[in-house]
Amino acid sequence: MVKHITSGSTFEQEIGYSRAVVDEHYVFVSGTTGYDYSTMSLPETIEEQVAQCIKNIKAALEEAGSSLDKVVRVHYLLPDRHDFEACWPTLRDAFSVARPAATMLEAGLLDPKMKIEIEVTAKR
């Protein structure tokens, strides 16, 4: 059984991917930015963007029958590694129960206004 979850982002159809893919045991959430789909906007600050990333990821996980507490792996991608420390309080709150294996990479993102992208794998 494989289920595909969409956020409604036009990128998913244009590029050919899903917000998340659910199999029997895991939920694989694609790299998720701080884009707010309810207002079709991208917040300005790293703190606002990381909070929105978590909100977007949480919604996908819940739709898949999982939660932030079941995340086992997380990848953080930031264009500027110096912004990462400002994210720690939000990330600590989101993943304090799960305490997933984590990696932070410095990389360019699709839009120069994007300050962070987060990808997670969670158990069902």
Q: How far apart are CA 28 and CA 112, in angstroms?
A: 25
38: domain CATH number is 3.30.1330.40
Q: What is the pLDDT of residues 64-116, one digit of tens each?
A: 999 999 999 999 999 999 999 999 999 999 999 999 999 999 999 999 999 99
Give the pLDDT of residue 14. 85
Q: Using alpha carbons, select from 120, 118, 116 the residue that is nearest to residue 42.
A: 116
How do strand 117-123 and strand 26-33 relate by DSSP bridges? Answer: antiparallel
Q: What is the pLDDT of residues 34-70, one digit of tens each?
A: 999 888 899 999 999 999 999 999 999 999 999 999 9
Structural domain containing residue 85: 3-123
Residue 9 in this model has a pLDDT that exceeds 80: no
How many domains would you assign to the chain? Answer: 1
